[in-house]
Amino acid sequence: MTHSPRPARPAVNAWNAEFLEQQYALYQQDPAQLPDDLRSFFMGFELAQSGDLGLSTAPNSTDSPANGATQSAVDHLINAYRRLGHLCAEIDPFGRERETPQALLPSYHGFNEANLDQPFHTGTLGKQHGESPIPLRDIISILDDTYCRTIGVEIDYITDIDERLWLKERIETQARNRPNYDPAYRKHILEQLHRAELWEKFCAKRYPGVKRFSLEGGETLIPMLNRLANSAADDYQVSELVMGMSHRGRLNVLTNIVGKTYEQIFTEFEDAWDEFETENASGDVKYHRGYSAEHETTGGNKIWLAMASNPSHLEAVGPVALGRTRAKQRLKGDTERSKVIPVVMHGDAAFIGQGVVAETFNIANLKGYTVGGTLHIVVNNLIGFTTGPSDARSSRYCTDFAKQIEAPVFHVNGEDPEAAVHVMQLALDYRMRFKKDVVIDLVCYRRHGHNETDEAAFTQPQLYAEIKKKPSVLKTYAEHLQEAGVITAQGVKDIQVSLEAAMDEALTRAREKPVDPTPDPGHRRWVGLTNDWSFDAVGTSVQKDELLAISEAFGKWPEDFEPHPKVVKLSQQRSQAVADDKPIDWALAEQLAIGSILTEGTIVRMSGQDSGRGTFSQRHAVLTDKNTSERYVPLNYIREQGVPGTAQEVGSVNEQGDIRQAKYCVYDSPLSEFAVLGFEYGFSLASPNMLTIWEAQFGDFCNGAQVIIDQFIASAEAKWQRWSGITLLLPHGYEGQGPEHSSARLERFL
């Protein structure tokens, strides 16, 4: 009788030296990550090495570590803080007490007052405090400072041990997860807070009653984003950040981070610019529009910042920003996904409430959609319009969606700007090292109602009573720096006077000479393309020799590749049909057309549910080996292919004088319409010289992506002067499967 093999952890008693050395190294880093049997084994090993076999008549002596059982209790306490410390961390901006979990109480683990001076081993936890062991009271102090102050950490669900160890080491060995900034940088943070607050106050004073969806209460976002832009360029040579966010604080971010000038925004406030020349253009409110500009860092480097336009449909911009990022990475040949990175800012209620967020997380690590990790920042106002957390979600945190892809989550008190900037740096470092999503939950508040004319006390009287008497983060941080001797009261006043003068001067200039507030929609890659159209005929014919070369390609594959026999027969019949002048069906015509586009040097990207084979088993653009499941795209082998991201790709000529063909990228999407079409639309924004196609599984299913169709594809040019060449394929069945498989209802696009 034969038995199937079973994976098994090598037993300790097998004395596998290599295994034991590997596990002992992990034990020295962090004992809590090992199973109880191995941890006890190594405790005994170290005890024997020390010469103390635990036979002392004073078991609570401070001269040596405790016996294995008590050390194990310490390990459990440390691990409890790592898992549960965030539950009682001081992340509430109003300082309201959060209940301490039982597992964080020393008494829960059997300790009493007499144990507090007893030394224990700490693994990685004690590295910054000299050699282990250290007294239990010091261990608890380190744990409190690291996990229960103004930063709450959720990483325990991450299964990748390298990621988890890296995060724990960064969190536990670097000043108890606290920054130690020099006076100059602390002044820099203060200036950023000044910029954030004074911008809002200036607009409120000059344009009272005008909606702007201010950032007041969440001003810490500005020094965080400033740190992100500077560090990304200076430390990692990132060339571009692609940003997406909804309306809350958008104008503040546009002017203080992205680089839209005071004059441009004041021109919009003054309604002094007739930016649209066509009768059908409608424009949009200023807090929906995008912008892009070059930012010069404190280190003298430059980074391009691009903020995507966004409708009122919160979170719809997320997949759009990711698609735009992917296209820019593709065009730059950024295969490591380290030169262009996406940053998506969310509101707390929308982040947990909108299903497109879960869809977007789901595509984060898929081959056809990954961008190498997204930096998510939740501006957590503790409220959504008028809805509080108890009515907004069933989960503990608004960020719990992120756990589906094991993204680390850092909760940080918005009233501690240094901690928030520190967390921003940690998140960037993690993203650049592991190329995965990471989430920052910036816990703050909203000083006004949903907008500046809304009375929030109607529905949240207690919360807004607290907000009304709360000083701004700028005021408290400025006082903190004065007490620390970092800056004088006059120094604080000088920053304020300088910034107010700059805004006054800009307003005067904008009123005297309005400034175009909208960037050129044809910027960079759109140069030479227009929205002009006519009914003039366009030549679309292809030479017979070219069609023969294309058809020959999809009728062959490598010798060691074995498709399904039915696919072999169909592919060979189609390949031969062109040479024999036989009838050509729709699927064959499509492949010939795409092949001709590829040979002209135009990249084609197609994604949708089942696009590789085709919903009706008609396309077979991607073949699958029946023995190995390897995939092969025949149309990528018509002739020599160009190299992505180089001069030897689009339209380039090889040594024989033939145009190098472009790549056909075909991806089977997850069962999502909203996020996937949003991604493809975003991709098309940055790649006008590619053919970007989204295919519905059935034409009718485009209604699952109706927000993207209505709010972006059909209206972006009128609203934001943004162009797209996205192509939709809406296949129909007409096979008696009912109305939901027979009509794409084209009136949706009018």
Q: 92 and 413 in contact (C-beta within 8 Å)? A: yes
Q: 142-147 contacts: CB < 8 A, separation 24 or more?
A: 142/172, 142/176, 143/77, 143/78, 143/81, 143/85, 145/176, 145/177, 145/178, 146/81, 146/85, 146/171, 146/172, 146/176, 146/177, 147/81, 147/82, 147/85, 147/86, 147/89, 147/177
Q: Using CA atoms, how far apart are residues 398 and 257, in angstroms rounded to an integer? A: 26
pLDDT-derived band at 5, boundaries 50, 70, 90: very low
Q: What pLDDT is recorded for position 12?
A: 43
Residues in the chain: 750
Residue 214 φ/ψ region, left for φ over 0, alpha for ψ in the -120 to 50 degree band, beta for the rest: beta
Backbone angles phi, psi at 626, to 5 degrees: -70, -15
Q: What pLDDT is recorded for position 700?
A: 85
Q: What pLDDT is recorded for position 56?
A: 32
With a pLDDT cut of 90, the percent of the chain lying above it is 64
Which of 61-70, 95-104, 339-348, 697-706 comes out lowest in average pLDDT? 61-70
Q: Which residues is 695 bridged to in the sheet?
A: 608, 729
Question: Of residues 130 and 573, which shows the higher confidence score?
Answer: 573
Helices (H), 207-275: 221-236, 250-253, 262-269
Q: Which residues is 344 bridged to in the sheet?
A: 244, 376
Which of 340-349, 583-592, 630-639, 718-727 comes out lowest in average pLDDT? 718-727
3-state secondary structure (DSSP) of residue 715:
coil
3-state secondary structure (DSSP) of residue 242:
strand
Which of 152-166, 436-450, 482-496, 711-725 comes out lowest in average pLDDT? 711-725
Report the chain's terminal Cα–Cα distance, integer Å.
Answer: 69
Angle formed by the axes of helices 17-29 and 161-173, to 10°? Answer: 40
Region 105-119: mean pLDDT is 92
Q: Using CA atoms, how far apart are residues 390 and 398, in angstroms rounded to an integer? A: 11
Q: Is the predicted pLDDT of residue 124 greater than 90, yes or no? A: no
The DSSP letter of residue 631 is E
Q: 474 and 194 in contact (C-beta within 8 Å)? A: yes
Q: Is the predicted pLDDT of residue 64 greater than 90, yes or no? A: no
Q: What's the pLDDT tens digit per position in 480-514?
A: 999 999 999 999 999 999 999 999 999 999 999 99
Q: What pLDDT is recorded for position 290?
A: 81
Q: Using CA atoms, how far apart are residues 219 and 198, in angstroms rounded to an integer? A: 10
Q: What pLDDT is recorded for position 646?
A: 66
Q: Using CA atoms, how far apart are residues 669 and 363, in angstroms rounded to an integer? A: 8
Q: Using CA atoms, how far apart are residues 533 and 535, in angstroms rounded to an integer? A: 7
Q: What pLDDT is recorded for position 139?
A: 93
pLDDT-derived band at 273, boundaries 50, 70, 90: low
Going by C-beta distance under 8 Å and a sequence separation of 6 or more, which residues neighbour residue 656? none
Q: Using CA atoms, how far apart are residues 105 and 536, in angstroms rounded to an integer? A: 79
Q: Is the predicted pLDDT of residue 48 greater than 70, yes or no? A: no
Task: Please classify residue 205 by burial: count the beta carbons closer than 10 Å to its beta carbon, then call 0-12 exposed, 13-18 middle and 19+ buried.
Answer: exposed
Q: Which residues is 305 bridged to in the sheet?
A: 241, 293
Q: How many CB atoms lie within 10 A of CB 546?
A: 16
Alpha carbon 426 to its chain's center: 14
Which of 14-23, 186-195, 350-359, 507-516 comes out lowest in average pLDDT? 14-23
Residue 302 φ/ψ region, left for φ over 0, alpha for ψ in the -120 to 50 degree band, beta for the rest: beta
Q: Which residues is 241 bridged to in the sheet?
A: 305, 341
Q: Is the predicted pLDDT of residue 55 greater than 60, yes or no? A: no
Q: Are strands 375-380 and 340-347 parallel, antiparallel or unpaired?
A: parallel
CB burial readout 99-120, b (16+ within 10 A) else e: eebebbebeebebeeebeebbb
Backbone angles phi, psi at 463, to 5 degrees: -60, -45
Q: What pLDDT is recorded for position 1?
A: 42
Task: Please classify residue 661 by burial: count the beta carbons closer than 10 Å to its beta carbon, then call 0-12 exposed, 13-18 middle and 19+ buried.
Answer: buried
Question: Of residues 610 and 274, which shows the higher confidence score?
Answer: 610
Q: What pLDDT is recorded for position 526?
A: 81
Q: How many CB atoms lie within 10 A of CB 594?
A: 21
pLDDT-derived band at 713, boundaries 50, 70, 90: very high
Q: Is the predicted pLDDT of residue 40 greater than 70, yes or no? A: no
Q: Using CA atoms, how far apart are residues 214 and 176, in angstroms rounded to an integer? A: 34
Q: Using CA atoms, how far apart are residues 445 and 415, in angstroms rounded to an integer? A: 10
Region 365-391: mean pLDDT is 93
- Find where tokens 């294309």 sit: 550
Question: What average pLDDT is seen over the chain?
Answer: 87
Alpha carbon 259 to its chain's center: 21
Dihedral angle computed from the Cα positions of residues 677, 696, 532 and 294, in that order, rounded to the nearest 10 degrees: 20
Tokens for 539, please give them: 């030549």
| Peptide linkage before 133 cis (omega within 30 of 0) | yes
Q: 454 and 447 in contact (C-beta within 8 Å)? A: no
Question: Of residues 12 and 456, which shows the higher confidence score?
Answer: 456
Backbone angles phi, psi at 616, to 5 degrees: -100, 20
Q: What's the pLDDT tens digit per position in 85-98?
A: 999 999 999 999 89
Half-sphere exposure of residue 54: CA atoms within 13 angstroms, side-chain side: 13
Going by C-beta distance under 8 Å and a sequence separation of 6 or more, which residues neighbour residue 123? 27, 28, 29, 30, 31, 32, 75, 78, 132
pLDDT-derived band at 272, boundaries 50, 70, 90: low
Alpha carbon 418 to its chain's center: 22
3-state secondary structure (DSSP) of residue 695:
strand
- 3-state SS track over 300-336: CCEEEEEECCCCCCCCCHHHHHHHHHHHHHHHHCCCC
Q: Using CA atoms, how far apart are residues 448 and 210, in angstroms rounded to an integer? A: 13
Q: What pLDDT is recorded for position 278?
A: 46
pLDDT-derived band at 208, boundaries 50, 70, 90: confident
Task: Please classify residue 601 by burial: count the beta carbons closer than 10 Å to its beta carbon, then call 0-12 exposed, 13-18 middle and 19+ buried.
Answer: middle
Q: What pLDDT is recorded for position 508?
A: 94
Q: How many CB atoms lie within 10 A of CB 608?
A: 25
- Find where tokens 């949708």 sit: 608
398 vs 115, 388, 442, CA distance in Å?
39, 11, 11
The DSSP letter of residue 294 is E
The DSSP element (H or E) to which 98 belongs, if any, is none
Q: Using CA atoms, how far apart are residues 696 and 730, in angstroms rounded to an integer? A: 5
3-state secondary structure (DSSP) of residue 408:
coil
Q: How many CB atoms lie within 10 A of CB 516?
A: 11
Q: Is the predicted pLDDT of residue 270 greater than 70, yes or no? A: yes
The DSSP element (H or E) to which 151 belongs, if any, is strand 151-154
- Find where tokens 């990685």 sit: 124
Best CA proximity match to 151, nearest among 99, 95, 89, 97: 89
Alpha carbon 181 to its chain's center: 27
pLDDT-derived band at 721, boundaries 50, 70, 90: confident
126 vs 74, 231, 665, CA distance in Å?
13, 29, 50
Q: What pLDDT is recorded for position 519?
A: 67
Best CA proximity match to 350, nearest among 393, 309, 412, 320: 393
Amino acid sitting at position 440 = I
